[in-house]
Amino acid sequence: MTIIVTGGAGFIGSNFIFHMLKEHPDYRIVCIDKLTYAGNLSTLKNVMDHSNFRFVKIDICDRTAVYRLFEEETPDIVVNFAAESHVDRSIENPDVFLQTNIMGTAVLMDACRKFGIKRYHQVSTDEVYGDLPLDRPDLFFTENTPLHTSSPYSSSKAAADLLVLAYFRTYLLPVTISRCSNNYGPYHFPEKLIPLMIINALADKDLPVYGEGLNVRDWLYVEDHCKAIDLIIHKGRVGEVYNIGGHNEMKNIDIVKIICKALGKPESLIKHVGDRKGHDMRYAIDPTKIHSELGWLPDTKFAEGIQKTIDWYLKNEDWWKPIVSGEYQKYYEEMYGNRT
């Protein structure tokens, strides 16, 4: 079995590669990644010499390069993690999100049609559903919840999902889609909430929190997400969407306070900054379908997962310190420096 994993030098994609090489040692894993700002080849250093692993630097929008790789590797399964994913960046520059997240998806599926595959899996997000009110804790996103996007990022992912389902209906391409809640864990790029707060707290820097920090997210340890995708590509029904969530809702401000306490840092480091445009209030996933059909449930409680994540960042400064220097600092200042 040969699996092409796109965006495999990113956060979730790299963790998925580690999971698959461990759980399916006879599989060949081919990782393609454009290595943009969030794609870090050092993340994959421990598997680069693995006999069943190959890395190829490719932009999924480059049809010629993608087709050439498919011809060389004749993959059985394609799992598409490749995406521009940071909401703030999508507000600043929507165009790159439309190119990668929509057109890149189309190129991959055209390659799948041309060369024949057993499964194309699209890794999507719960953000395609919009948000839920804070005063209705009984409401959850299901696979039948209408798409109601709030940002250029989520709109591009929703468009890609619709395109994937259209390829299933029109061309009978064997597809599945998963929509997951917020992930956390090792190798998470430092612009995201949890790694940003850990790294800033370690340096006694301000901890920027949008608004009052009352926005609620459902958090899932990345390893549990990888296990879910593994199940879907092997046992999921073609043409179906599966929601992946942990029933672990937390306010952003509470996450930050947990990190402060774990690191022995004062909450006075917390700095409330101007809120994001169109900021969704609450995400909450109902994972009943994947549990009832495939038997998946998350294994990692948040208290355990957040401590494992903090410990990882404490032990792996050699991974994140080069990231937070140089160009990333300029972006950080653009995003947070002028907020009051």
Which residues have a catalytic role annotated? Answer: 126-127, 153
- Residue 274: DSSP 8-state: P
Given a contact cutoff of 8 angstroms between Cβ atoms, the answer to whether 170 and 131 are in contact is no
Which tokens in the block code for residue 107? 């190129």
Given a contact cutoff of 8 angstroms between Cβ atoms, the answer to whether 335 and 88 are in contact is yes
Buried-exposed string 243-271: b where 16+ CB fall within 10 A, e elsewhere: bbbbebbbbbbebbbbbbebbebeeebbe
d(CA 31, CA 21): 12
d(CA 146, CA 319): 39
Please name the residue that has the structure tokens 């340890």: 221
- What's the Cα-to-Cα distance from 270 to each of 73, 203, 207, 255, 332, rounded to whole Å? 49, 13, 5, 11, 16
Phi-psi region of 181 (alpha: psi -120 to 50; beta: other; left: phi over 0): beta
Which residue intervals of 272-326 are DSSP H helices?
Answer: 288-294, 302-315, 317-320
